[in-house]
Chains A and B, each alone.
Chain A
Amino acid sequence: MKPPELVCPAGTPSAMRTAVDAGADAVYCGFQNATNARNFPGLNFTLPELEKSVAGAHAGGTRVLLAVNTFPPAGKVDLWKQAVDAGARIGVDAFIVADIGVADYIARTHPGIRLHLSVQAAAASPEAIRYYCREFNVMRVVLPRILTVPEIKSMAAEIPCEIETFIFGNHGLMVEGRCALTNYVTGLSTNMDGVCSPAAQVEYIRDDTGNLSTRLGDFTIDCFSCAENAGYPTICKGRYLTPAHDGAYYAFEEPISLNLSSLLPDLMQAGVSALKIEGRQRSRAYVKSVVSAYRRAVDSIMAGQDPQLDDLLALTEGQKQTQGAFESKRWR
């Protein structure tokens, strides 16, 4: 069995160094603009920062994957082309893309650089993935988090490219790249502006008894009692009153994190080439803990031992974890 690549998040230069030191085989990152799907304030890289960081990562034997995985609005594609050209100039090892126009530009302009299909493309069928491989020479697909391990194994036999799956972090059940919930409420698009629940429109209100209300734009999307764990302020993880249910409930999905530590051997046997840890918006403390834990686990499996993974529950959203659809379509 070929060792899978451990693909780790890097939201800042410091986080990238942390990931490299913790044993990342590859790191993924983005520029400080709308060209990537984690366009959060104060996060990501300037061009000089990324140039220096790429050199540092390569010196540590770690590959750098540049996320250019949002969808350019009409007439604004130049920003995406500039990001791609800059990435090529400073020597990134692959581009992670979702938009077919950006993919086409890379395939024609920088054919020597690997192209990975972002989860934002939501390509979940062999037919769709083969199309991207045929038309743009995509070398790897990041699968949506909606497939079981047996389905992934079948997929591996039917497509001509590598498979990357998420193993930790955001549960990510929405049809990624097509979710318009944030756009509906805030006017900004996750898919084109790279911001899900822009911080400028998030407000936390704590009352005298410790209850915490989360507001996005003009809407209250959740209220946590003082004894409850909290989650991210996204619409998909809000609690709502609907006629279909008694009391407020998580109509879309719960605040919970994916943790596939116990499925690692199955994923590797299924033909997964790369294991992805979500969380470019998280701290270097998170990166250090999660990357180190999974590095040890993957190495243990490759050595024929049972993986011993640290307890990562404290780092999970809502302090709850799931194997989601990877274990069963009836995870909820």
Chain B
Amino acid sequence: MTTSATPRQSLGFLRQRPRWAPPAPLFLLQPLLRRIAQTVAAENPDMFGRLGPHYNALFVIDPVDMPFILLLRPDPENLLLALHRRGNVPDHAARISGSFLDLLMLIDGDLDGDALFFGRKLSVTGNTEAIVCLRNALDDVEGSIAGTVANMFGFAGRAALEALRRASAKQGEPA
């Protein structure tokens, strides 16, 4: 008998660590996140114009099914993308919360944010205008931000992204 992983199970590798492994110190991931942010920013310089006065706002990107949150400051001169533990959320202007897969597909232009909001799969709090600006800036990015990130990690990155997209498709959503 064959079985297939449910979407939640398929994301287990992001939530769970092997029993033998120590908890990954988040600061070790910071250089990687910095590189991701810089690569995406360098490839999409026009997106920052849509942020208007909110280019230096701090956004919390909250994948509710993960033990961490992301802190984003989309300022091209002072770019920040950082991981924080869920219990240690810094002061911020706005917070966008949803499942990891929905947020990934939203950032990549594969899902409609309004539809997610209508269906209560996405919640936003804080400065709504800043969120609308960020949404429009990201939506005007041509191509795939997730693909850009995946390409940074070569074959393994692309394979991981494909696995995530399959997981999303299993949820009945476009990938």
Residues of A within 8 A of B (CB): 11-15, 17, 40-43, 46, 198-200, 202-206, 212, 224, 226, 228-232, 255, 281-286, 289, 314-319
- Which of A232, A283, A289 has the most chain B CB atoms closer than 10 A to its own CB? A283
Does B6 have its Cβ within 8 Å of any Cβ on chain A?
Answer: no
Q: A315, B128: Cβ atoms under 8 Å?
A: no
The CB with the most chain B CB atoms within 10 A, among A12, A206, A282, A315, is that of A12
Task: Please give, as numbers and ranges, the residues of chain A lying within 8 Å of B124 by CB-CB distance.
Answer: 204
Interface contact B110-A285, CB-CB below 8 Å: yes
Q: Which of A43, A202, A224 contacts B136 (CB 8 A)?
A: A43
Question: Which residues on A sit within 8 Å (CB–CB) of B142?
Answer: 14, 17
Which of chain B's residues have a CB closer than 8 A to the CB of A202?
Answer: 128-129
List A contacts of B115 (CB < 8 A): 286, 314-316
Tell yes or no: B98 within 8 A of A by CB: no
**B134 CB, min distance to chain A CBs, angstroms:** 8
Q: Using a CB-CB cutoff of 8 Å, which residues 140-170 of chain B contact chain A?
A: 140-142
Is the CB–CB distance between A212 and B174 below 8 Å? no
Contact: A15 with B139, CB < 8 Å?
yes
Q: Is B120's CB under 8 angstroms from A14's CB?
A: no
- How many inter-chain contacts with C-beta < 8 Å in the A-B complex? 100
On whether the beta carbons of A42 and B50 are closer than 8 Å, the reply is yes
Interfacial chain B residues near A314, Cβ < 8 Å: 115, 119
Question: With A and B bound together, what is the CA distance between A14 and B110 in angstroms?
Answer: 13
List 9 contacting pairs A-B, 8 Å CB cutoff, sorted by A.
A12-B50, A42-B52, A42-B135, A200-B128, A200-B129, A212-B123, A229-B118, A232-B114, A282-B114
B106-132 CB contacts (< 8 Å) to partner A? 109-115, 117-120, 123-125, 128-129, 131-132
Kindly list chain B residues whose C-beta atoms are within 8 Å of the C-beta of A11: 136
Contact between A12 and B119, CB atoms less than 8 A apart: no
Contact between A14 and B129, CB atoms less than 8 A apart: no
- Provide the residues of chain B in CB contact with A199, threshold 8 Å: 128-129, 131-132
Residues of chain B within 8 A (CB-CB) of A281 are 114
Q: Mark B64-83, 1 if CB is under 8 A from A, else 0.
A: 00000000000000000000
Nearest chain-A residue to B113 (Cβ)? Answer: A283
The CB with the most chain B CB atoms within 10 A, among A14, A40, A224, A315, is that of A14
